[in-house]
Amino acid sequence: MRAVTRVIAELCLPVGLILLLFYAYLLWGTGAETEREQQVLQHRLGEVFDRHDRHAAPGEVRLGDALAMLRIPRLGPGYRFAVVEGVGPAELRKGPGHYPGTALPGQPGNFVLSGHRTTYAAPFNRIDELRRGDEIVVDARDARYTYEVTRKDVVDPGDIGVIDPVPGHPGRRPSTALMTMTTCHPEFSAAQRLVVQGVLVRREERHG
């Protein structure tokens, strides 16, 4: 019995080290993976912006491909993420994802994004710092869309009304262009969802 206890106690050391290593992987290893993906996606997006196929139907974007560039000035000049199409685990490893079937940038309805809060470069880690009136800039193929934050809330994971075309009013026909960003809340937990919503205030055609 004593020998068994001793072996168990000795096994605690490698198990503890493995858990520490896993924690380091979650915080930094996943971030490095996402940053590599982002470099590729942002480069491809830059090529799309430079070409003259800006009027290609946005629906042509495949799952996992870059849809638009997201910038939030409140979170710093270096804050920019390529938004990918899709919100499955494989897509969210690359960066914030667009819920398929929800509105596209600038369209009437709800342009819904989801992103990680603590892992995979944590694109939405600091969206809790956003205040009413802060700008969210979305560079899409055809134009630059600027949204202004109107609301911030914490909801249960099952509260899917926040992604309705008119949030909280399923079935209602949208007349304005909204955007919603969702992420896990609190940090290091998926118990709730932090939701930041905004309304489109400006559309600028990109030239050149």
Residue ranges binding another protein (CB under 8 A): 6-7, 10-11, 18, 21-22, 25-26, 29-30, 33, 89, 93, 116-119, 183-185, 187-190
- CB of residue 89 to another protein, shortest distance in Å: 4
Give the residue with the Cβ less far from another protein, 7 or 57.
7
In terms of DSSP H, where are the helices of the chain? 2-24, 30-50, 89-92
Give the residue with the Cβ less far from another protein, 141 or 152.
152
CA distance 114 to 123: 9
Give the residue with the Cβ less far from another protein, 40 or 190.
190
Environment class of residue 110 by beta-carbon count within 10 Å: exposed (0-12), middle (13-18) or buried (19+)?
buried
Give the residue with the Cβ less far from another protein, 127 or 149.
127
- CB of residue 122 to another protein, shortest distance in Å: 9
- CB of residue 203 to another protein, shortest distance in Å: 32
Give the residue with the Cβ less far from another protein, 12 or 57.
12
Q: Which of 186, 83, 184, 201 is nearest to 140 (CA)?
A: 83
What stretches of the chain adopt beta strand conformation (E)?
Answer: 66-71, 80-85, 97-98, 109-114, 135-139, 143-155, 177-185, 192-205
Q: Is there a contact between 111 and 102 (Cβ–Cβ < 8 Å)?
A: yes
- CB of residue 180 to another protein, shortest distance in Å: 17
